[in-house]
Structure 1
Amino acid sequence: MSAVPRPARTTETELEVPSLARGLRLLGRFLRLRCPHCGGGPVLARWRVGMPWGVIRDRCPACHFRYERSDDGYFAAAMLINLITSELLFAFSFAVAILATWPEVPWDGLTYYAAAAMLLFPLLFYPVSKVLWLTIDVMLRPVTPAELR
């Protein structure tokens, strides 16, 4: 059997400094988990039995923008975003819990909460971090017509 050739991916597009209006528009699309190019189609596929949770679609159903813009390691930066976000959320919530319960801090409860949160949040947030990375990438490297075919 011969392998089906994959379409060429464009990774060497010009970088661009986004305007405030463009940044806010892309932020709104990210918050709705929509295509960063057109805002029409969802980025995440609907979860079904037998399919992993948080799968990224291949293309936007509205504008046909290919979500994975480069090689197989395109979403590696999403792991970094996921790690940073998880750690910041943990540190913030831990500090708020300590300040809210001072001087009678429930250390045992915080220990169990911290362990559960550090296991669950990265798993649940990873698909969203992929959409965030895609949005940041589109903000800095606008979509070319070749990516819409």
Structure 2
Amino acid sequence: MRSSTFGTQLRRGLFKRCPNCGSGNLFQGFFKLKPSCPSCAYHFEREEGYWTGAMIVNIAACEVWFFLLFVGILITTAPDIEWRPVLAVALITNGLLPVVFYPHSKTIWMAMDLHFSPNRSPAP
């Protein structure tokens, strides 16, 4: 039986917390994730290639963010759109956001995986 809802697990993932118990301190550095949760010992990487899902979450989130930003800029500057500032914002956003968001995408992916396949036992 699951002790937390999908929304709770996603929220924990968004704030870089363990999707299983909610504790923090999961990263050794900005990108380096600890092998398991220091609080509940939940092992994060379940199989080889596991983090491909995190890359997909990262790409999807960045595309959605860029689309909303782009449409917002077009709506606020229409009908006389200046394309150089739009291009500058696009390049900066698409260059920095995937890097900054990647640790969050890892914990969001762990939350999604834990919710949709909770009974899989990972091999540490």
Counting only pairs closer than 5 Å after superposition, residues 43-122 of structure 1 correspond to structure 2 as: 43-45=26-28, 47=29, 53-71=30-48, 73-122=49-98
Q: TM-score, normalised by structure 2?
A: 0.86
Query: Would the aligned equivalents of 2:26 and 2:38 in 1 still touch at CA under 8 Å?
Result: no
Q: Distance in 2 between matches of 1:83 and 1:28?
A: 19
Query: Would the aligned equivalents of 2:12 and 2:22 in 1 still touch at CA under 8 Å?
Result: yes
**Structure 1 residues without counterparts, runs of 5 or longer:** 1-15, 48-52
> Paired residue for 1:35?
18
Deviation at 1:43, TM superposition (A): 2.6
Identity over the aligned pairs, expressed in percent? 30
- Post-superposition, which runs of at least 4 consecutive aligned residues in structure 1 deviate over 6 A? none
* Structure label with greater radius of gyration: 1
> Paired residue for 1:129?
105
Q: TM-score, normalised by structure 1?
A: 0.73
Query: Would the aligned equivalents of 1:81 and 1:133 in 2 still touch at CA under 8 Å?
Result: yes
Q: Distance in 2 between matches of 1:30 and 1:89?
A: 18
Q: Distance in 1 between matches of 2:75 and 2:88?
A: 18
Q: Distance in 2 between matches of 1:84 and 1:27?
A: 15
Q: Distance in 2 between matches of 1:148 and 1:61?
A: 16
Query: Would the aligned equivalents of 1:64 and 1:148 in 2 still touch at CA under 8 Å?
Result: no
Q: Deviations over 1:33-71 (max 9, x none)?
A: 1111111243323x3xxxxx3211111110111111112
Please identify which structure carries the higher helix content: 2
**Counterparts in 2 of 1:87 and 1:31: CA distance versus 1, 3 Å:** closer
